[in-house]
Amino acid sequence: MPVIELACGPVEYDDRGSGPPVVLLHGAHLNATLWTQVVDELATTYRCIVPTLPMGGHRRTVHADTDLSLTGVATIVADLLEALDLDDVTLVGNDTGGAIAQVLVTTRPDRVGRLVLASCEAFDNFPPGLPGRISKLSGQLPGGLWQAAQAMRFGPMWRLPLTFGRLAKRPVPAEVRESWFGPLRESRAIRQETRRLLRGLDPAELATATERLGGFDRPALVVWAREDRIMPPEHAKQLAERLPKAGDVVWIDNSYTLIPLDQPVALARAIDDFVSGSAGQV
C-alpha cells in the first residue's frame, strides 16, 4: 500500500483505478479494508483513494502533536487531497468517516466536487449508540484499549450489541477483523494515538459541522441502511433536507451501518449513479 508523507506524518492509502477521483473515508477502529469490495466495483471507472486514517486500525503513527479531533483528522484528509493534487473529488464517508466528511466540506471544501454521506454520525449522535459509548469509555480507562483489542480476538465478541453486532449485519471476515484490531494489540504507540482520538470526541464539533452543511452548494447524496440501528434513519432525511443539492435519500436494504461490508455492490451502484448523473453540475 502506498505511503504519503503529510504534515501529520506518514499516511497509508489504497489507490486503484483511473478516472474521476473518489475518496472514501472509514470510521473509528477501522481502516481502508472497509472499502475493499466497493473499490472492486468502482475502480473500473473511477480512481479510488482510500486513506487509512489514524483512528485505531492504522499501523503507522503520526507526529505526537497531531490534532486528532474531528477537525484535525479532516485536515489530514484535506492535506492528502492537496498532496495528491486531486480536484473535483467525490468525497464518501461512512460511520465516523461521514462525520469527518461533514467537517471537511464545511472547513476546506475547495477540492470537493460532490459529497456522499452513507449511514454516519450527524447532529447529536456522537459518539453513536452503545458501541460508540463503549469505545469512548475504553479510551478513558487505564489499559482499556488493550483489553478491548484482546477481547476482539474472539469471533463471538463481534456479534454483541456493544461491539459490532449492530454495526455489521453480515460476519466481518477474520482477516478484516485482524487488520482492524491487530494494531491496538501490537503497538503501544497506536493505542496512545487512538486514546487521544477517543478522548477528543466532541459532540459540539460535529453538531456545528452538520448545522453548516447548508453552505455546501455542490451535489450531495445521502445513502442510508434502512435497518440501521446505530445511525437513526430520520437523520438521513434531515441531512438530505439540509444539503441544498441533495435529492431523495437512497435506502439500502439488508444492511446495518457498515454498508460497505454488508451491501458493497448496492453502495457502489448508488455512488456511480450519483457521480455519473451529477457530472457537470455546479
% the chain with pLDDT above 70: 99
279 pLDDT band, cuts 50/70/90, is: low
Q: What share of the chain is helix, strand, coil (3-state, %, to 5)?
A: 45, 15, 35
Any idea which fold 3-125+202-278 has? Rossmann fold (3.40.50)
Tell me how far apart the alpha carbons of residues 11 and 269 are, in angstroms, rounded to a whole number.
28
Q: Model confidence over 196-207: pLDDT tens digits?
A: 999 999 999 999
On whether the CB atoms of residues 62 and 186 are closer than 8 A, the answer is no
pLDDT at 119: 98
| Chain centroid offset of residue 155 CA | 23
pLDDT at 278: 78
Q: What is the mean pLDDT of the chain?
A: 96
Tell me how far apart the alpha carbons of residues 41 and 36 are, in angstroms, rounded to a whole number.
9
Where does residue 265 fall: left (phi above 0), alpha (psi -120 to 50 degrees), or beta otherwise?
A: alpha
Q: Model confidence over 17-74: pLDDT tens digits?
A: 999 999 999 999 999 999 999 999 999 999 999 999 999 999 999 999 999 999 999 9
Angle at 39 between CA 34 and CA 40, to 5 degrees: 115
On whether the CB atoms of residues 55 and 29 are closer than 8 A, the answer is yes
Look at residues 231, 232, 249 and name the one whose alpha carbon lies nearest to residue 240: 249
The conformation of residue 92, written as its DSSP 8-state character, comes to E
**What number is the average pLDDT over the span 145-161?**
95
Tell me how far apart the alpha carbons of residues 280 and 92 are, in angstroms, rounded to a whole number.
18
On whether the CB atoms of residues 35 and 24 are closer than 8 A, the answer is yes
Q: Model confidence over 113-133: pLDDT tens digits?
A: 999 999 999 999 999 999 999
3-state DSSP assignment of residue 22 = strand
In this structure, what C-alpha cell is assigned to residue 94?
Answer: 461512512
Q: Where are the alpha helices (DSSP H) in 13-56?
A: 36-42
**What number is the average pLDDT over the span 208-219?**
97
**What number is the average pLDDT over the span 91-101?**
98
3-state DSSP assignment of residue 136 = helix
281 pLDDT band, cuts 50/70/90, is: low
Residue 282 clears pLDDT 60, i.e. is over it: no
280 pLDDT band, cuts 50/70/90, is: low
Verdict on whether the full-model pTM lies above 0.85: yes
**What number is the average pLDDT over the span 220-249?**
97
